[in-house]
Amino acid sequence: MSGLDRHGLDATHDAALRSWVASANDLLTDFPLQNLPLGRFRRRGSDEPLRAGVAIGEAVLDLRLACEAGSWSPEMSPLIELLARGELNAFIALGAAARRTLRSVLSLALREGSGSERWLQPCLVPQAQAEMALPCEVGDYTDFFTGIHHATAVGKLFRPDQPLLPNYEWVPIGYHGRSSSLQVSGQDFRRPRGQYKTDAAVPVFGPCQRLDYELELGAIVGPGNALGEPIPMARAEQHLAGLVLLNDWSARDVQAWEYQPLGPFLAKNFATTLSPWIVTMEALQPFRRPFERAADRPQPLPHLDGEANRAQGAIDIALEVWLQTPAMRERGDAAERLMQSNFRDAYWTLAQLVAHHSSNGCNLRPGDLLGSGTQSGPLPAQGGSLLELTRGGREPITLPNGETRRFLQDGDSVALRAFCERAGQRRIGFGECVATVLAPRS
């Protein structure tokens, strides 16, 4: 196996690599040989146990079949056996060295001319025939608020003179979410009911009228830490396995009524959608960027600062939201892109989220999920939620077919997409994070 260079890259990142899986060589695929994200699946319509798979082009490499089909090296065998049993949490708990071993061995096996095609080809399952599950078991879920452009835009709607609260630029703000209502992309959900305030003196209880999406990334914790032992910045990213897309659906009318004094509750916990593939920290390495805080803004306190974080704490990930209405679907029209932003604009880095979360001794565990908060861009058209794009519902957006939206209607389907691209590197993506709003239960 090749060692890492000074940029943290190795032979698996070579943009010239091609796979014997032809669809992986498409320049627009999310899943070229340079990505190799991990997920859990079974064949659609079957009752077989979940097993781990790796996305490659339009296929999934079934690691259970691959474990049975080949003779793997002593270093690789225990890793692929774990994944064959679907024990993704146990695998990511092993840390970066295990992920690099898996990545290196699979990269070699899936390359053109590797000689592995004969015995691995039968282990491929078309993604269209795969029923995906959440990529790992999530015990705890924390949602942060790292998108300063979102925080500023929403703050201006309610506090024009002071959109950011005094603590925002000093501490990564977050709240503990509800892991039981996490669901994988493709699983739809019903419009929630809740209590909210109208102009009447008495609140009402009924279907949410201001349903919204939020464009986020989710970081999956790998190795955990013991209770009472904070994770320092220098080691923070060693505790992350990779990233997924996350849609933090929000009932804005319920949220406005309930959030003070203790923060989000029923407005957030009715559904949260995750994409099915964990894009590993290794796959993201070519797209790292320096983390810089403007000189006229508060600088991170020492426990949230570090040389490595300043050198490459940010990640260049383009983020998009797409909407397809029932009328568009009926006519066969494709979804329309509503906005695009980039994760490099986040006010806090992933390392800072891990360090802060554990700074009081909180113990993180393998599979825990850290939401990034809504990732909006600096321009009004880059809002990561309808709340921003419509200025609180006051200015509806108009779609190309003439339909308008202030907030989501029943039957609307929202898809989040993300990709990384850079000159000299192969483009990689996250796949879709999609769900459709169903009518509330009668």
Q: Give me the active site residues, please.
A: 150
d(CA 244, CA 278): 5
Q: Quote the DSSP letter at residue 185.
A: T
Spatial neighbors of 281 by CB under 8 A, at least 6 apart, are 96, 99, 237, 240, 241, 242, 243
Q: DSSP assignment of 79-95, as one string? A: HHHHHHTT-HHHHHTT-
Encoded tokens for 5: 């260079």
Distance CA 129, CA 127 (A): 5
- The neighbour count for residue 393, using CB atoms within 10 Å, is 18
Give me the sign of the Cα torsion angle 84, 89, 92, 95: negative
Q: Which residues of 299-329 are buried (b: 16+ CB within 10 A; e: fewer)?
A: ebeeebbbeebeebbbbebbbbbbbbbeebe
Question: If we measure between CA atoms, which residue out of 214, 374, 350, 367 comes closest to residue 284?
Answer: 350
Which residue, among 104, 100, 109, 131, has the nearest Cα to 222 in the 3D structure? 100
Count of C-beta atoms within a 10 Å radius of residue 163:
16
Return the half-sphere exposure (C-beta side, CA atoms, 13 A cut-off) of residue 196.
19
Q: In the 3-class helix/strand/coil scheme, how is 355-407 assigned residue by residue?
A: HHHHCCCCCCCCCCEEECCCCCCCCHHHCCCHHHHCCCCCCCEECCCCCEECC
Query: How far apart are the C-alpha atoms of 24 and 28, rounded to whole Å?
Result: 9
Contact criterion met (CB below 8 Å) for 314 and 349 = yes
Q: Which two tokens stand for residue 131?
A: 């029923």
Q: In what helix (H) or strand (E) does residue 280 lie, and over which residues does it extend?
A: strand 279-280
* Maximum C-alpha span of the chain: 74
Residue 312 in 3-state DSSP? Answer: helix
